[in-house]
Structure 1
């Protein structure tokens, strides 16, 4: 069982969503069309792959976690999109998989071997293609006043090693020039879309379980205790059981 197996049933519904404006903005910037092929590395439940589906033709998702792929398969069927799914690590993709006009990666780079991934991207990305490193997260500039306390509770209940791994993932995502340094690629442009929505206290509380550092597998018998403390922190910020959240969705475009 992989690190995200116990989060699969929650991930697609509770993580900060990518809005439709985000996919439209990226598709327009890259000139995507039905002639284009897309491969999503570390696809999870297919959030990026299916979000871009209306703008491309061939779509492939890759993930090592069977439970995530099953969630992606259900989501694709419900949305009526053809999605080819491959179980395994991106670094082990067969050489004959071909090239793609766009390679998308969510918060997954820190799980991948850098050298192998750079070599993989060199053969996956079509000559005039692009990589889009994507993320969607709660704004950290004070517009989500509940966020600091929320993360403080998560950190306290998370095993120290897993919390450090989560921090390493954030640092990798923020320092993409270092990741691509010395390769054929370099970051070209950052696209950012801001949206706001209302999320229930219950759903925001349960979102903690979608992160590897505070997943049911990581917390074990402490799940309910952590959820209770998170909910107590959130209630004072809620109105009629709902909390306002500002979300920032980004795509770092990387090209040759």
Structure 2
């Protein structure tokens, strides 16, 4: 079973998209092409949130994911918005197995909220053959609810733990934490000149969108609760009521973007 089995609808509707400020950082980082037709490779695209944010900034986009349901949702969302003259290819593949068309090299590779699922060193090595000489690999994401950071998010995590156990779930297994900073891993790769950019983001949630977000994750997918799903929803809403009397839950978050370029030889 996929780590994200049963989450696609929630993922598309409730996962926060990529803010304009983040898209602008990515846009500026990627080099220009003489024909103005830059190429983007989005690894672990999910339902296409990154590709959507960059759709009008890159003329040739390949988005890769191993989940067919996610790719179908990306196709439905992105194809109608594709600018005239642009190209979009959605490819079902593991990142470790993906090979682009012959002669195709990306000005920008994006890996958002997905690097922890990959064979990191292997993927970065493969990308050396898939990225233009002056191209950039961007590994980035914001903090999930599991990272907490505010009283109401800590309460959400506690309720999830009370139903699913203390360890963070990852589908039928548990999440394996990576203790090394991503920038350090990148510095050992071909893309060893690493720049970090932080972009703050503020959001406002309601109980229903919090539940929708949780159901989009591998650690709180609906099937993990079995016949206790409605019980979980009631418990979470009851707990959240301690933090707001008008169903409003503010969040301070940030995107940490790591931009990797090849070092000078």
Q: Partner residue of 1:6?
A: 6
Structure with higher helix content: 1
Q: Which stretch of the first structure deviates more once superposed, 177-186 or 188-197? A: 177-186
1:101 to 91, 107, 113: 107
Query: Which aligned pairs between 1:20-169 and structure 2 lie closer than 5 A?
Result: 20-31=20-31, 34-81=36-83, 82-94=87-99, 96-97=101-102, 98-137=104-143, 142=149, 144-158=150-164, 160=167, 162=169, 165-166=174-175, 168=177
Give the direction of change, closer, same or farther, for the CA distance of 1:165–1:101 in structure 2 (3 Å limit).
farther
Give the direction of change, closer, same or farther, for the CA distance of 1:106–1:116 in structure 2 (3 Å limit).
same
Q: Is the Cα–Cα contact under 8 Å of residues 187 and 252 in structure 1 kept in the other structure? A: no
1:147 deviates by: 1.1
1:65 deviates by: 0.4
Q: Is the Cα–Cα contact under 8 Å of residues 5 and 221 in structure 2 kept in the other structure? A: no
C-alpha deviations, 1:188-208, integer Å up to 9, x for none? 211222122322221112211
Q: Is the Cα–Cα contact under 8 Å of residues 30 and 107 in structure 2 kept in the other structure? A: no
Distance 1:5 1:187 in 2: 36
Q: Which stretch of the first structure deviates more once superposed, 178-187 or 97-106? A: 178-187
Q: Is the Cα–Cα contact under 8 Å of residues 8 and 68 in structure 1 kept in the other structure? A: yes
Q: Is the Cα–Cα contact under 8 Å of residues 136 and 259 in structure 2 kept in the other structure? A: yes
1:78 deviates by: 4.1
2:217 to 211, 216, 236: 211
Count of residues in Structure 1 that have an aligned counterpart in Structure 2: 252
Uncovered stretches (5+) of structure 2, i.e. residues with no partner: none
Q: Is the Cα–Cα contact under 8 Å of residues 133 and 252 in structure 1 kept in the other structure? A: yes
Q: Is the Cα–Cα contact under 8 Å of residues 138 and 248 in structure 1 kept in the other structure? A: no
SS for the counterpart of 1:16 is coil
Give the direction of change, closer, same or farther, for the CA distance of 1:165–1:104 in structure 2 (3 Å limit).
farther
1:101 deviates by: 0.6
Uncovered stretches (5+) of structure 1, i.e. residues with no partner: none
Instruction: Decide which structure has the larger Cα Rg and report it.
Output: 2
Distance 1:108 1:56 in 2: 21
Distance 1:95 1:136 in 2: 28
Distance 2:142 2:32 in 1: 21
1:151 deviates by: 1.5
